[in-house]
Amino acid sequence: MDGMRADEVFFREWERRRPGETRSLARARELAEALDVLSPGVPVLTIVGSKGKGTAATYASAFLAASGLRVCTVTSPGLRTNRDRIRIDGRAVSEPELARLGDVLDAAIAELGPQVDGYLSPSGLFTLAGVLHARRTGADVLVLEAGMGGRSDEVSLFPPDVVAITPVFLEHAGVLGGTPAEIAAEKRGVAGPDTRIVSAPQSPDVAEVLAPVEHAGDGGVPAGLLPAGLGRAAAATGITAARRLTGGDPPEETLRGVLSTVVLPGRMSWHTVPGTATTLLIDSAVDGTGVAAALAAARDRWGEIDHAVVCLPDHKDLDGAVRALGDLPVTYVRLPQPHLRFTRPLPPAWDVVGAAAVTPEALATLGHRVAVLGTVYFTGLVLDRIDAGTERLFLPPATVPASRRPSGSGA
């Protein structure tokens, strides 16, 4: 099976879903039983929240790798390709590995019988594939990022030892709940009675629903090892949750060495458009607060911003983004994915283009300092168009370059 065929397996039932049909946890459980992965056999750390889940998952995984564990990480969606959704020690699976996982899922799905009540969701199938890959590669621990929700997400099939909750706000209204508190309750529902819960700072109404939880604090590591901006709280949450899973810290010099190699493409990351003088700040900001923070970081570094390229589907905080962007020149991008809707009115001064118009050449015409903001599907597209490196998110201890090791840590 080639990469395209593997993708077809993961998306097949979702693409054939009937109007109003929803994903089926029961069918996903049946498939997990057929794959014999319902009991992973290793500790599970699950990440839920509205913003920063990928950052928390990356830093949790880096901490666990620094602790000498082989860690399998499943995130959603991918950065540039669907290979990015499943990683071992920070490295994305290869095309052949993803194809083999697709083969196994394809055969198991064929044995389930016809789809009757609900479909197998793509994010759920990647979760199952990740758990299967963890077993096949001898992983010591699983880090699972929820695709959407908590108790309603396929990650709930694998009872977590620890749950990390990143900031929760109003998203997917009417699907996960009608208020931030209702959404928080749904996300917390992934935890069992014996699960330890670590939370980032939350609004008072959300905090009340989540309690009792352990507060992540600063993660117990120097601030210089954490990302700037809003991602810092998510990273600290991931590290604190990983520490609770292991019950202690790795050697300080090892942890510092591994954390110093972490990269977060699409999360307040800086990139040069190949062959041009244009620099991009790419951030998966989906609400007014996130957009404002990204713009502040850009102005702090550049002084001025020449242009913003933005992609916010209807279910994201477009109003907040409009306020944060103010009178900046903006190009608004509409993506072709059928599950994303772009029907809300936009400021008349904004240019509107399709995904095909987002090319390195087009980005370079917008100026030397361009902010790229929006849903992770969009930031992933831009990362792909400029050929940004996403193969590895961190280096495990044995591969940390000597230049990244603290002085006195040895050769």
Tell me what pLDDT residue 409 has: 35
Region 8-260: CATH code: 3.40.1190.10
The phi, psi pair for 272, rounded to 5°, reads: -95, 135
Tell me what pLDDT residue 400 has: 74
Name 141's bridge partners.
71
Tell me what pLDDT residue 77 has: 86
In CATH, what class is 269-386? alpha beta
Tell me what pLDDT residue 114 has: 84
Are 288 and 298 in contact, with CB atoms under 8 Å apart? no
DSSP one-letter string for 25-61: HHHHHHHHHHHT-SS-SS-EEEEE-SS-HHHHHHHHH
Which residues of the chain register pLDDT less than 50? 1-4, 406-411
Contacts of 56 (CB under 8 A, 6+ apart): 47, 49, 145, 164, 166, 200, 234, 235, 237, 238, 241
Tell me what pLDDT residue 4 has: 45
Tell me what pLDDT residue 115 has: 82
Residue type, 263: V
pTM: 0.91
Tell me what pLDDT residue 169 has: 80
The phi, psi pair for 157, rounded to 5°, reads: -70, -15
Domain ranges in the chain are: 8-260, 269-386
Tell me what pLDDT residue 174 has: 54
